[in-house]
Amino acid sequence: MASSAALSTESSAPAAVEWLLSPSPVPYEAALEAMDARVGAILQGRAPEAIWLLEHPPLYTAGTSAAPEELLDPPRFPVFGSGRGGRFTYHGPGQRVAYVMLDLSARGRDVRAFVHALEAWLIATLARLGVEGERHEGQIGVFAGEAKIASIGIRLRHWVSFHGVSLNVDPDLSHFAGIVPCGRTSPVTSLAALGVDADMRRVDAALRSAFEETLGAVSANACR
């Protein structure tokens, strides 16, 4: 690919979801631009559905339900309005972000079921890594015990999704102190904090395998 944030393709959509990887941290605004272009291409039938794995530099994002008072330390990191659902969240090195650009017209057009499926994907991923992930009643995301380990925030355009999920692999957990994460005072944890091997390649392999199990087949590609 031409750049770490270039996602568009001119091929017609195959049955499998395209699996994309950016090896270097991607600036948030560049990611938004790339997702926007890819969603447009999916809607026009010029590109397949895609899962994009990446990391971001340290930053906070505000979802459509974010309350200003939940940003506790505004000068700490850049803050971006995201347009996704949810409230404030943190992204940074050591956190695997997976942006999901999937066509819900072919998946039932049921947003609640789609979020449930994303949670199932994360729980299956954690199981492959030796962690028991669970849902908490009335909350979106996945928990390890009482601590949140993965978040979900999506947006739809004509039933094609973008934004997605984030899994804490080995981020600096103190960075979450600048916000009220997802509007909750629950603690936040990571694979590394739980004593799990936090090699990102191992995590990516688990994400891919679990995705095939819960949401469908993928095809490999590298996003350079």
Which residues, 6 or more positions from 214, have their beta carbon under 8 angstroms from its beta carbon?
Answer: 117, 120, 121, 124
Distance CA 173, CA 189 (A): 7
| Per annotation, catalytic residue among 41, 42, 182, 223 | 182
Distance CA 85, CA 106 (A): 21
Are 121 and 214 contacting, i.e. CB atoms less than 8 angstroms apart?
A: yes
Residue type, 167: L
- Strand residue runs (E) in 105-179: 142-144, 147-157, 160-168
Distance CA 198, CA 217 (A): 25
Distance CA 74, CA 91 (A): 15
Q: Would you call 182 a catalytic residue per the annotation?
A: yes
9 Cα distance to chain centroid: 21
Are 90 and 60 contacting, i.e. CB atoms less than 8 angstroms apart?
A: yes
Distance CA 58, CA 28 (A): 10
Residue type, 27: P
Q: Which residues are catalytic?
A: 182
